[in-house]
Amino acid sequence: MAQFRAEKAGINAEVQQKLEQMYDVELELECRMWMEAITGEPFPECSPEELDEIERDFPGKEFYLALHNGIYLCKLIKALHPPALPGLRLVKPRNPFQERDLIDHFLKACLEYGVSKDCLFETEDLHSATNMNMRGSE
């Protein structure tokens, strides 16, 4: 997870800073509201303890914490496309491997739903909060 990664230095730190400057808070809010409307569930709230676990502060930190385990994303694709993820139990993952697995299931279901691969993020970008910028066509 993000809290176990070494702090970036040099050109990598510059790239990370530019990515963070590009983060669109208004788009995040639109996404949250859309996801709530589709799932019929409130967007997951983060506890102060969860926020404190991650030492690095970055735009979208709460958004990351709500989505990085993959559960809400899987609920979203199941609401959009009910045949998606048959038999997948949505229980809180016990380790990072299970979290990544749920994100992978979500991404594969998105492809089946018809979302272009170019509009999808990489599992590690979300899971490790290395690139929290939204992708896709405008």
Domain residue ranges in the chain: 2-127
Residue 100's closest CA among 65, 69, 78? 69
CATH 1.10.418.10 fits 2-127, yes or no: yes
Helical H runs in 22-118? 25-39, 48-53, 61-67, 71-80, 96-113
Q: Does residue 4 surpass a pLDDT of 60?
A: no
- Rounded percentage of the chain residues whose pLDDT exceeds 90: 37
Check if the beta carbon of residue 30 is closer than 8 Å to that of residue 43: no
Give the confidence band of 128 by pLDDT, cuts at 50, 70, 90. Answer: confident
Q: Tokens 């030492």, residue? A: 55
What pTM did the predictor assign? Answer: 0.77
Q: Does residue 35 surpass a pLDDT of 80?
A: yes
